[in-house]
Amino acid sequence: MEMDKLVSLCKRRGFLFQSSEIYGGLNGFWDYGPLGVELKRNIKEAWWRDMVAGHNELIISNGAPSEHQMVGIDCSIIMHPQVWKCSGHYDLFHDFMVDCKESKKRYRHDQVRGRWVIAKGQTVFIATQSGGDEGLKETEQKALKFFNLRAKSVEELVWEGPLVSLITVTDFEKVLAPDSKTLGTFTTPREFNLMFKTIIGALGGEENATFLRPETAQGIFVNFKNVVDSSRVKLPFGIAQIGKSFRNEITPRNFTFRSREFEQMEIEFFCHPSESPQWYKYWRDRRYKWYIDLGLSSSKLQLRDHHAEELSHYSCGTADIEYAFPFLPPGEFGELEGIAHRGDFDLKSHMEGKLVREGNDLVVEKTEDGKPKHRGSGKDLTYFNDQTRERFTPHVIEPSAGADRGTLAFLCEAYHEEQIDGEIRVVLKFNPRIAPVKAAIFPLVNKDGMPEKAQALYGDLKKEFAVFYDDGGAIGRRYRRQDEIGTPVCITIDGQTLLDDSVTWRDRDSLQQKRIPIQTVREELRNLLQNA
C-alpha cells in the first residue's frame, strides 16, 4: 500500500488533518476529524474494556490460581518538577541532534544514515534520511551530483559497504549532509532534552519551571499509595491510564507515528518481586494477542525482545510489539507498544531519590559532596501483605501503548484496493468494534414512504450505535462512500420493505446481501459487534 493514498483518504474523508493547517500547519501536531475521533475513541474504549473491565482472568501463578484487579486513574499533565528529577527524565530523557550549517535543518543523530563512497580519489560519506532501496537510490543520485558524474558513469562510484548510521562516523568533515551541497556542514552532536518546559503562575521564574508530562506512567507511580489506601486493591493489581503526553521530538515524521503531542494507554502492574517474571510474560503475550484480535495480521506484527544493551537503566527485561508500517523500508518494523519489567526502580526513586545502577544494584545517585542528587518524596511507597505479614516494594510490569500509533496501524492494515467490475473499490476493513460508523441506513429511492421508514430505523438504531443516514445519489455510490470509511454494514429500505418489513443487509467485506426482518436489525448489529 502506498502511504500517500492513505494520507490523502484520511484528509478527504475527515480522519486526520494537519494541526493549524490554515496557518501553514505545525510540524508534529495533528487533529482528528469527525471520523478519526470516532476511530481513535473506539480503540481507546476497546483497550479500556479489554484491559480494565474484562481483566480478571484466572491465571496460574506459582502453581496456584490467582486473580488480578485492575483500576483506572486520570492524572494531571503538569506535575511537581521533582517527579521528573526522580524518574530520570530530567537528566536522561534526551536525544542527540546535529544541525546542518548550510541548509539550517536539524536532524536526530541516530536517524541520519549514509554510505561511504570513493570516486575521483576522494572518500565521502553520503548522508540521507531514507532507508532501504530508497536510501540506496538517493545516495547514488547525490553522489553522481557531488562528483559531477553522468548517470552512465555510475560505475566510477566505488561503494564501501551498506547504509549505516551517522553514529558510526567520527570525521564529520567527510560527510555530505542530506540537504547540503558541500562537505562538513554538520555540527558536532548536541544533547537535547525532549520535555516541553513551562512556567507556572503569572509571576513565575525559573524556580517555577516544570514540564508537560512525557509519559502518563509517572502519575500512576506517585499515586500508588493513594490507590492502595482508597480502593483496597490487593497485589497483584494494575493501574491503567489513557492520556496525552508531550515530547519535543527533534524530527517528528511519518504522519502521526512520531508526533510532539500524542496519547498513551499505559498500565503499571504491581506484583510481588518473586512473581514478576511470570507477570512480565503474561502481559507480553496478552498485549500481542490484543492487536491480533482487533485485526492486525500476524505477518505484519512482531514481538521483539530487547537485547541487554538496549534496556533502559532500570529495566530487567523489555519487549516491543512492532508493526511493519508501509512507510518503512521492507523488513523494518516500527514500535507500537513496549512491555517493560521495571523492577522497583520507580517506586524506590520516588521514595528515596533518583536511582542509578551500580554493578547489579540500584543505588541513590549522589552529588560530589555525598548528598542525594535528586531527593525523593520521603513517603513510604511499600506494600504490606496482611496475610503473609510481609512488607516489600512491589515490582512493576509496564505495558505502554501509543493510541495514535495504534490508530495509524489499524488504518494501514484496513486499507484495501479491490478490482470490482473494472473499477477500483477502496475499502477500509476495520474490525467492526473499532469502525467509526457501525451501519449506514439508505432508502433506495426518496419516495413511496421509503425515507420515512429508513429514518425511523435510523432514529431507533442511533440510540445504541454510531449509524449514518444517506439518501444522496445512486445506491452503488452510497455503498462505495461507506466502504471507503470502513462501515461494516449497509442496510437498505426498498420496495420489498414496504410489503413485508424486510430490509437488505449488505456486508462490507464479502459484498454478500441478505434479507432480514427490520425488527431483527438491532439484534444482528449487536451480534456483529459482540462476535468481532
CA distances, 486 to each of 1, 18, 483 (Å): 16, 22, 5
180 binds ligand GAP, rule: CB under 6 A? no
In the complex, what is the shortest distance from the CB of residue 191 to ligand GAP, in angstroms, rounded to a whole number?
Answer: 17
Would you say 329 or 334 has its CB closer to ligand GAP? 334
| 215-233: burial string, b at 16+ Cβ within 10 Å, e else | bbbbbbbbbbbebbeeeeb
What does the per-residue mask of binding to ligand GAP show for 300-339, with x meaning CB under 6 A?
-----------------------------------xxxx-
Pick from 175, 514, 217, 490: nearest CA to 342: 217
In the complex, what is the shortest distance from the CB of residue 239 to ligand GAP, in angstroms, rounded to a whole number?
Answer: 13
What does the per-residue mask of binding to ligand GAP show for 3-42, with x meaning CB under 6 A?
----------------------------------------
With contacts defined by CB under 6 A, how many residues of the chain interact with ligand GAP? 19
Would you say 163 or 319 has its CB closer to ligand GAP? 319
64: number of Cβ within 10 Å: 6
Residue of closest CB approach to ligand GAP:
402
Would you say 109 or 247 has its CB closer to ligand GAP? 247
Cβ(260)–Cβ(29) below 8 Å: yes
In the complex, what is the shortest distance from the CB of residue 264 to ligand GAP, in angstroms, rounded to a whole number?
Answer: 5
Q: Which residues, including other chains, have CB under 8 Å from residue 333's CB and lie 6 or more apart? A: 302, 304, 322, 323, 324, 325
What does the per-residue mask of binding to ligand GAP show for 204-243, with x meaning CB under 6 A?
-----------x-x--------------------------
CA neighbours within 13 Å on the CB side: how many for 313?
19
259 binds ligand GAP, rule: CB under 6 A? yes
Grid-cell match 560530589, residue found: 368
The Cα 150–Cα 148 span in angstroms is 7
Question: DSSP label at 371?
Answer: S
Would you say 243 or 432 has its CB closer to ligand GAP? 243
Cβ(395)–Cβ(269) below 8 Å: no
402 binds ligand GAP, rule: CB under 6 A? yes
117 binds ligand GAP, rule: CB under 6 A? no
Residues 342-401 that bind ligand GAP (CB under 6 A): 398, 400-401
294: number of Cβ within 10 Å: 21
Beta partners for residue 514, in sequence order:
505
Grid-cell match 462505495, residue found: 480
Binding residue for ligand GAP (CB under 6 A) from 142, 341, 350, 405?
405
Binding residue for ligand GAP (CB under 6 A) from 61, 129, 185, 264?
264
The Cα 176–Cα 114 span in angstroms is 9
Would you say 349 or 504 has its CB closer to ligand GAP? 349
Would you say 83 or 454 has its CB closer to ligand GAP? 83
In the complex, what is the shortest distance from the CB of residue 251 to ligand GAP, in angstroms, rounded to a whole number?
Answer: 10
Cβ(365)–Cβ(374) below 8 Å: yes
Binding part of the chain for ligand GAP, among 50-58, 200-208, 259-267, 476-484 by CB under 6 A, reads: 259-267
Would you say 108 or 508 has its CB closer to ligand GAP? 108
Determine phi and psi for 175, rounding to 5 degrees. -95, 130
Question: DSSP label at 53?
Answer: I
135 binds ligand GAP, rule: CB under 6 A? no
The Cα 204–Cα 197 span in angstroms is 13
Binding residues (CB under 6 A) for ligand GAP: these are 215, 217, 247, 249, 258-259, 262, 264, 266, 335-338, 398, 400-402, 404-405
